[in-house]
Structure 1
Amino acid sequence: MTIRSEIVEPGIRTITMAYPPVNALPTAGWFGVADAMREASTDPDTRVVILRAEGRGFNAGVDIKEMQRTSGHDALIAANRGCFESFKAIYECAVPVISSVQGFCLGGGVGFVGNSDVIIASDDAYFGLPEVDRGALGAATHLARLVPTHKLRALYYTSQNITAQELHSYGSVHQVVPRAELDEATLVFAREIAAKDTRVIRAAKEALNGIDPVDVNRSYRFEQGFTFELNLAGVADEHRDAFVTTGEVLETRSA
């Protein structure tokens, strides 16, 4: 179980998540992504970052089973802090971040892609926030960057998924390709960025962040406050216990 960071071509760094079977990240994984992004941000040889994953899906969110194996609130606090730090590090990375998404992208995975600069997805990719079904809240900040307002609310309240093709129709997924072509398609796009003057691209990234209408860091922390309230009220534990008992079925249903 690893977060692997490496230069694969001049100027192009990949950060790969490998947490089988479904890339549900434990606390260490979220902090690992944050650390890798910060390293990439300060590396003068990195001009663009590709965030990708091994296995059948990109990300299945937080490892709830890890959380339920611990007593008290330490695991919840650590997981929430890890999510915040990793999303923040992606958004604030000094160079563009491309999310390369296959299969499922759920929960915290939406936080990753929502704070990325570009999303390229396989034709079997789907995205969703099952937070309401888990007795938690979060990443609406990031889903709001992918879909219109009323679509966001419909997806959030129902925990329904949305396909890469529909996100492409909104313009939030840049490209949808057959799964076998995903890695190469992402590299082709990354090469375009890597070929530019990195001084200008880094300035462009900072400028684009500066004109965003929403402070994504503050917005996400606001959401997390409600997760803590639900946890203190005992609601979140009920839902997480039910999840651990019944297990997760990753579905391809869409809104």
Structure 2
Amino acid sequence: MQYLRLNIEDGVAIATIQRPPANALSRELISEVDELLTTVEHNDSVRVILIHGEGRFFSAGADIKEFTELASGEEFSKLASNGQQVFERLESFPKPVIAAIHGAALGGGLELAMACHIRLVAEDAKLGLPELQLGLIPGFAGTQRLPRYVGIAKAAEMLFTSEPLTGSDAVQWGLANKAFPIDELLPNALEMAKKIALKSPIVLKAAIDMLQYSKHQAYYDGVKAESLSFGTVFESEDAKEGIQAFIEKRQPSFTGK
């Protein structure tokens, strides 16, 4: 894998995202997440997966420049649907998955983290879904997972304002499990992962299966609707303006068209 480095240590598969400078989620990187899961699923020496980012960020979001390569809303919806499938596989994966978040988990980066079973964060990390700032909406099931963690009102605040939470606030809001000073994040994440790895893989899988029952059909209906809406908004002039403004590092000027 080009963008994921894998090390196995004491029953823990440590997957390091390494796509500098911001560990942006390209289509290839999302595909490698799927490949990672295939690699470790039937490896009996792996009991837990720990995902973290190399450098300054966990992942600062999707690769916006790739969006300019898509010609239609249908292609945009397909991009969203493919990402949703990988992240759904991650959330229902039979082995526990922990995200250790430092720097920033924004947009697709936060959607990746929300698909993990446990989120540990640096106190000063930034977690958010800023897609509306680009004239878009989240596309990797972010609109469906976020309310499950923080409630509809707080999810609306995060989406509408595009403002991120700190790691400490994310714990208070229910989006993350625990916050640590940044130099203590990875050691504590590894300690937790190794503690979980001592459990029976049979009962861990059973527990994950039971947690999936907390979903209901409306969730999956919402995920499908999100990918379709993702493609619809892509075709607006505001989306093109938002993407271009991001690339040009300026404030977008939306016209409602």
In structure 2, relative to structure 1, the CA distance for the partners of 1:71 and 1:113 (3 Å cut) is closer
Where does residue 4 of structure 1 map in the other structure? 5
Shift of 1:221: 2.8
What residue in structure 1 maps to residue 201 of structure 2?
A: 198
Deviations 1:176-204 (A, max 9, x none): 11111111100110111101111111111
- The answer as to whether partners of 2:77 and 2:230 remain within 8 angstroms in 1 is no
Aligned AA (2:200): D
Closer/same/farther in 2, CA of residues 6 and 214 from structure 1, 3 Å limit: farther
1:209 aligned onto 2:208? no
Asked if the contact 1:26–1:79 (Cα under 8 Å) also holds between the matched residues in 2, the reply is: no
Find the aligned partners of 1:62 and 1:172 in 2 and give their Cα distance. 20
- Aligned partner of 1:236 in structure 2 is 239
Q: How does the TM-score come out when normalised to structure 1? A: 0.88
1:129–1:155 contact (8 Å) kept in structure 2: yes
TM-score (norm 2): 0.87
Deviation at 1:125, TM superposition (A): 0.8
- Deviation digits for residues 36-77 of structure 1, max 9, x if unmatched? 123323333221111111011111111111332x25248745
Measure, in 2, the Cα distance between the counterparts of 1:103 and 1:18.
Answer: 14
Amino acid aligned to 1:47: R
* Inter-partner Cα distance in structure 1 for 2:134 and 2:245: 9
Q: Output aligned runs, 1:159-174, within 5 Å.
A: 159-174=162-177
Deviations 1:127-151 (A, max 9, x none): 1111111121121222223312211
The corresponding residue for 1:20 is 20
> Which segment is superposed worse, 55-64 or 229-238?
229-238
**Cα distance between partner residues in 1 of 2:219 and 2:52:** 22
Q: Secondary structure at the match of 1:6?
A: strand
Distance of aligned partners of 1:158 and 1:120 in 2 relative to their CA distance in 1, 3 Å threshold? same
Structure 2 counterparts to residues 31-180 of structure 1, below 5 A: 31-68=31-68, 70=69, 72-73=71-72, 76=76, 79-138=79-138, 139-180=142-183
Q: Once the two structures are aligned, what percentage of the paired residues are identical?
A: 26
- In structure 2, the CA distance between the partners of 1:171 and 1:242, relative to structure 1 (3 Å rule), is closer
Moved over 3 A (4+): 73-79, 213-218
The count of aligned residue pairs is: 246
Unmatched tracts of structure 2, length 5 or more: 252-257
Tell me the distance in 2 between the aligned counterparts of 1:125 and 1:246.
22
Q: Which has the higher contact order (CA 8 A, sep 6+)?
A: 2
**How big is the alpha-carbon RMSD for the aligned residues of Structure 1 and Structure 2?**
2.1
- Aligned residue identity for 1:72: A
Structure 1 residues without counterparts, runs of 5 or longer: 249-255
- Give the aligned partner of residue 220 of structure 1: 223
Report if aligned partners of 1:50, 1:100 keep a CA contact under 8 Å in 2: yes
